[in-house]
């Protein structure tokens, strides 16, 4: 059950695994995610986007960044190991249709969930331009896959070690001015999505974001994933994960992500023993 | 004064020595004092998750059973939602035939060890008990629930739990959605009839609210697990991590996967919030989230569990039901310094089990009656700092007959809290409705079913428990599960 068939290290802290999950592989659509639980009774439940799936082989692809305790423990698993529990596909799929011109913006690990959406947007007959950003060159992932889809691929890094130096919002603003997209999809760290939404707002361009709140069950039972969207409380796991970026209360969402920061730092410290990732990098 | 189990037992032994062998008149029986439930001492139990009520001793249960008058008209049975033959099982318990007593209960209720612990007996069977009426005090009624619990525990612990016989295979496949008490009961009765039964549960552990919601200190998880193990031993296949509506739709199950009928027992797992300002600040939780972290994810076992817990000192719990009591008593066990239950009405209107309220008080939970929260306040980092409250008084009775609270203008004040737990109830999860065209629900999203058969608007699809009743009780969920299974067995026979 849920055996890992393939594993690859994409960058110093990003891993790709292909896992057996036939029913999920059949049902999933771009934009949906799964919840994993492993390590017996005491394991945490963590959400990860389905980056790709092969319904014939019955597998799904997950791409994750080892940021804390649970993702580090997942990174320690090898081909042949199993993930005890995988629930999915969860959430609503991305609304894929012919918008015309679409800009896809991916920051850091956000490029992974963006990939199937960009692919589907392209297949739906859209012109697709892609902006990818990372802190530095070594953290860039899936450049080849993205360039195969994109009509134009723009890469930026915070430190200028690859592509343009700067933030994804700069080329995004340029495109809003010159190319006038009909839709923008932005997936990445909340702060990036917030500023992408702020960038597109003056142009009135529909902007889809995918929220990565803290989750437990993923079925709408706990309300831990709630965010305020257009003044209404929404549960990201069942109402989302994608929302209109112009309506999300970003500051509240980012605050809520920090709910367990003291405890996470504690266990983050513990989990580095064993993976040999230098503390500063992860 | 807290009395230890040993003290209570030796008292019962001497009472029993006096009573046994004598022919007792009604009056004699009515005058036997009610047996007190042994419990862990409050100062001790707030530092552990172990069960609070440790259960009667054999002598206690025999004395308590002698209190029953064996009324001909059986008023207690009329108060029982599934009409257990109460005097019959109590008579067996009095004779020390505990396995026989359990067998009598099992004719009507499949989950006596669970219901003996969590049923609101004081508003069901015990409310109508003649002995209680004699004393004009429901607390003096025969402790039916405690006797039920004892005999069920005895039967399980002594390996006398017989698995029911399974009819020869019918070749028909039935799906059961969810694994709470409604689904457990339906699955058992469907399997007994010889059908192939597959139970689909969304979470990584089966048991529904019994596992993720009700805490260990009130309902040990091993007891629920035993019920699930029995299902497995009967040949029910339990499929975890399967969300009907997403992993497969209900129609997929019926049209593509070969299930001839489906029972939906998906519960009322959608936490309600109050829509007051500040509800999304850091430190505000639904009771479901708070309890799930602690129970299902074992976060109470700090150091072992990978799921973090919020560090709380002053906790406010909004609500007055079992969910609120469970959340408050969990918070105290997780190390909060002070826990306050804020309830809009008075103690008399609180829907929680009486015993839980009493236990909560013993554990030092503070009750703020006749108060309603208006607003949650936070610091500049969004962390909760307090709650603005307003005093209320009871006004006219509402549609449910309960007097509704009326806010008293000018009484607003702010109290300091760092954590708020919202326990004002659950609505039904909309997922199956949204993904199943043709299923009819009421305004609240509850499935509309035929009263007699529990069949929904889709032929072959049945439903029961909280998804039909709204947040109700374990015994009602169990009862509907069985009712539905009976009708489903009839339906399947016609195919
Ligand atoms: C719908 C959804 C889809 C997701 N898809 C992916 C994916 O495809 N790949 C991937 O690598 N991650 C994804 N995430 C984020 C991933 O779930 C978290 O990184 C993971 O739960 C962290 O667990 P941990 O125990 O390793 O870290 P923790 O110890 O819990 O946290 C370590 C650090 O990560 C931050 N963090 C915690 N939870 C989240 C979160 N949900 N989002 C962002 N930061 C968080 C913490 O604030 C902390 O700084 C997704 C999240 C959601 C809600
Ligand atoms: C904290 C708390 C304390 C309580 N205390 C008491 C008490 O003392 N006494 C009492 O009588 N009652 C009590 N109740 C109420 C009682 O627990 C419920 O009435 C009862 O559990 C309902 O049973 P059910 O079988 O309908 O559903 P549930 O027990 O809610 O189980 C439903 C199950 O279905 C699963 N599910 C939902 N949707 C899907 C889907 N689409 N696919 C697959 N699986 C799905 C859920 O994950 C869940 O496991 C309490 C409730 C709570 C929350
Ligand atoms: S009403 Fe009370 S005394 Fe009478 S049969 Fe029932 S339990 Fe016994
Ligand atoms: S994760 Fe629990 S409701 Fe969304």
| Domains along the sequence of chain A with CATH | 4-90 (2.40.30.10), 101-210 (3.40.50.80)
Which tokens hold the place of A248?
């999300």
User: What DSSP designation does A119 have?
Assistant: H
- Interface residue ranges in chain B relative to chain A, Cβ cutoff 8 Å: 202-204, 212, 240-243, 246-248, 269-271, 273, 275, 279-283, 285-286, 288-289, 292-293, 297-298, 301, 304-311, 381-382, 429-431
pLDDT, mean of residues B252-259: 96
Establish whether the linkage from the previous residue to A89 is cis, with ω within 30° of 0.
yes
Instruction: Return the C-alpha torsion angle B122, B224, B37, B99, nearest 10.
Output: 100
Is the predicted ipTM greater than 0.85, yes or no? yes
What is the distance between the alpha carbons of residues A4 and A82, in angstroms, rounded to a whole number? 6
Which tokens hold the place of B24?
């007792």
**Residue B157 scores a pLDDT above 90:** yes
User: What DSSP designation does A137 have?
Assistant: G
Q: Over pLDDT 70: what percentage of chain B? A: 100
Q: From ligand 2's centre to the CA of A71, what distance in Å?
A: 30
DSSP string, B119-158: S-GGGTGGGG-HHHHHTT-GGGS--HHHHHHHHHHHHHHT
Closest of B491, B375, B485, B476 to residue B80, by C-alpha: B476
What is the distance between the alpha carbons of residues B114 and A282, in angstroms, rounded to a whole number? 47
User: What DSSP designation does A145 have?
Assistant: H
What is the distance between the alpha carbons of residues B218 and B119, in angstroms, rounded to a whole number? 12
Which tokens hold the place of A249?
């209360």
What is the distance between the alpha carbons of residues B245 and A30, in angstroms, rounded to a whole number? 17
User: Which of B243, B311, B312 to probe the A interface (max A CBs under 10 A)?
Assistant: B243
Crossing angle between the packed helical segments B86-94 and B144-157, to the nearest 10 degrees:
60
Which tokens hold the place of B240?
């975890």
Under an 8 A CB cutoff, do A88 and B306 touch?
no
**Stretch among A171-185, B102-116, B138-152, B397-411 having the lowest mean pLDDT:** B397-411
Cα angle value A102/A107/A112 (rounded, 5°): 80
- Domains of chain B, CATH where assigned: 5-157 (1.10.1060.10), 173-269+427-493 (3.50.50.60), 273-424 (3.50.50.60)
* Residue labelled with tokens 């139990």: B45
Atom of ligand 1 minimally distant from the CA of A212: 53
d(CA B131, nearest CA chain A) in Å: 42
Provide φ and ψ at B307, rounded to 5°.
Answer: -90, 125
More confident residue, A282 or B384: B384
CB A214 within 8 A of CB A177: no
Closest of A85, A98, A96 to residue A32, by C-alpha: A96
Closest of B26, B29, B479, B11 to residue B265, by C-alpha: B479
Q: Per-residue confidence of chain A (282 residues) as pLDDT tens digits?
A: 899 999 999 888 899 999 999 999 999 999 999 999 998 888 899 999 999 999 999 999 999 999 888 999 999 999 999 999 999 999 999 999 999 999 999 999 999 999 999 999 999 999 999 999 999 888 888 999 999 999 999 999 999 889 999 999 999 999 999 999 999 999 999 999 999 999 999 999 999 999 999 999 999 999 999 999 999 999 999 999 999 999 999 999 999 998 888 777 766 555 444 444 433 333
Alpha helices in B310-439 (DSSP H): 322-333, 354-362, 431-435
pLDDT of residue A40: 85
**Residue B288 scores a pLDDT above 60:** yes
Q: Is the distance from the beta carbon of residue B266 to the nearest atom of ligand 2 less than 6 Å?
A: yes
Provide φ and ψ at A79, rounded to 5°.
Answer: -55, 135
Exposure b/e, B136-165, CB count within 10 A at least 16 = b: eebebbbbbbbbbbbbbbbbbeeeebeeee
End-to-end CA distance of chain A: 30
Beta pairing partners, A33 = A49, A90
Burial of B275 (0-12, 13-18, 19+ CB in 10 A): exposed
What is the distance between the alpha carbons of residues B258 and B91, in angstroms, rounded to a whole number? 47
């Amino acid at each position: 059950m849920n055996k890992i068939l393939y594993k690859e290290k994409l960058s110093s802290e990003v891993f790709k695994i292909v896992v057996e999950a036939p029913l999920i592989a059949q049902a999933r659509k771009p934009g949906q995610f799964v919840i994993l639980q492993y390590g017996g009774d005491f394991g945490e439940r963590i959400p990860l986007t389905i980056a790709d799936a092969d319904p014939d082989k019955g597998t799904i692809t997950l791409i994750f960044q080892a940021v804390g305790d649970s993702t580090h423990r997942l990174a320690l698993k090898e081909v042949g190991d199993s993930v005890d529990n995988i629930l999915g596909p969860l959430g609503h799929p991305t609304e894929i249709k012919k918008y015309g011109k679409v800009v896809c913006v991916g920051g850091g690990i956000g490029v992974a969930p963006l990939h199937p959406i960009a692919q589907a947007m392209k297949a739906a007959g859209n012109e697709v331009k892609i902006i990818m950003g990372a802190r530095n060159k070594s953290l860039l992932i899936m450049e080849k896959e993205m360039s195969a889809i994109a009509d134009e691929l723009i890469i930026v890094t915070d430190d200028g070690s690859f592509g343009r130096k700067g933030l994804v919002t700069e080329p995004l603003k340029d495109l809003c001015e010159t190319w006038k997209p009909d839709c923008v999809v932005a997936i990445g760290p909340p702060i990036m999505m917030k500023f992408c939404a702020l960038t597109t707002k003056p142009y009135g361009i529909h902007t889809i974001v995918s929220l990565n709140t803290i989750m437990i069950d993923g079925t709408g039972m706990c309300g831990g994933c709630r965010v305020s969207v257009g003044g209404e409380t929404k549960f990201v796991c069942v109402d989302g994960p994608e929302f209109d970026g112009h309506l999300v209360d970003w500051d509240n969402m980012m605050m809520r992500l920090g709910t367990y920061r003291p405890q996470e730092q504690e266990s983050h410290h513990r989990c580095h023993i064993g993976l040999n990732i230098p503390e500063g990098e992860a | 004064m807290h009395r230890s189990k040993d003290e209570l037992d030796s008292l019962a032994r001497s009472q029993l020595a006096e009573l046994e062998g004598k022919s007792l008149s009604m009056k004699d029986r009515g005058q036997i004092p009610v047996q007190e439930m042994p419990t862990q001492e409050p100062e001790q139990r707030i530092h552990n998750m172990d069960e609070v009520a440790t259960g009667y001793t054999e002598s206690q249960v025999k004395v308590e059973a002698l209190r029953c008058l064996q009324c001909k008209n059986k008023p207690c049975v009329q108060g029982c939602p599934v009409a257990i033959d109460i005097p019959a099982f109590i008579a067996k318990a009095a004779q020390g035939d505990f396995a026989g007593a359990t067998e009598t209960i099992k004719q009507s209720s499949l989950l006596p060890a669970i219901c003996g612990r969590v049923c609101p007996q004081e508003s069901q069977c015990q409310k109508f008990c003649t002995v209680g009426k004699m004393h004009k005090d429901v607390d003096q009624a025969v402790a039916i629930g405690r006797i039920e619990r004892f005999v069920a525990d005895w039967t399980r612990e002594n390996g006398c739990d017989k698995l029911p016989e399974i009819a020869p295979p019918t070749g028909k496949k039935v799906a059961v959605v969810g694994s709470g008490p409604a689904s457990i009961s339906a699955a058992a009765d469907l399997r007994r009839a010889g059908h192939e039964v597959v139970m689909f549960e969304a979470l990584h552990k089966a048991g529904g609210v019994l596992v993720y919601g009700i805490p260990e200190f009130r309902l040990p998880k091993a007891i629920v697990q035993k019920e699930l193990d029995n299902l497995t031993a009967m040949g029910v296949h339990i499929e975890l991590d399967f969300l009907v509506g997403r992993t497969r739709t209900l129609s997929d199950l019926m049209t593509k996967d070969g299930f001839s009928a489906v029972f939906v027992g998906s519960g009322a797992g959608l936490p309600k919030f109050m829509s007051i300002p500040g509800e999304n600040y850091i430190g505000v939780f639904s009771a479901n989230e708070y309890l799930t972290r602690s129970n299902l994810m074992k976060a109470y076992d700090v150091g072992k569990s990978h799921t973090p817990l919020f560090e709380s000192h002053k906790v406010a719990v909004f609500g007055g039901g079992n969910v609120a009591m469970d959340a408050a008593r969990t918070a105290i066990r997780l190390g909060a310094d002070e826990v306050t239950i804020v309830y809009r009405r008075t103690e008399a209107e609180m829907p929680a089990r009486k015993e839980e309220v009493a236990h909560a008080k013993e554990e030092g939970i503070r009750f703020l009656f006749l108060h309603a929260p208006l607003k949650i306040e936070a610091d500049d980092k969004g962390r909760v700092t307090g709650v603005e409250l307003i005093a209320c008084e009871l006004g006219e009775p509402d549609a449910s007959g309960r007097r509704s609270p009326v806010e008293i203008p000018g009484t607003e004040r702010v109290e300091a809290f760092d954590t708020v737990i919202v326990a004002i109830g659950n609505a039904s999860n909309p997922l199956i409705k949204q993904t199943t065209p043709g299923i009819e629900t009421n305004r609240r999203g509850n499935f509309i079913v035929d009263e007699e058969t529990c069949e929904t608007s889709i032929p072959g699809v049945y439903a029961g428990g909280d998804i039909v009743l709204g947040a109700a009780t374990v015994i009602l969920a169990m009862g509907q599960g069985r009712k539905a299974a009976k009708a489903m067995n009839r339906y399947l026979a016609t195919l």
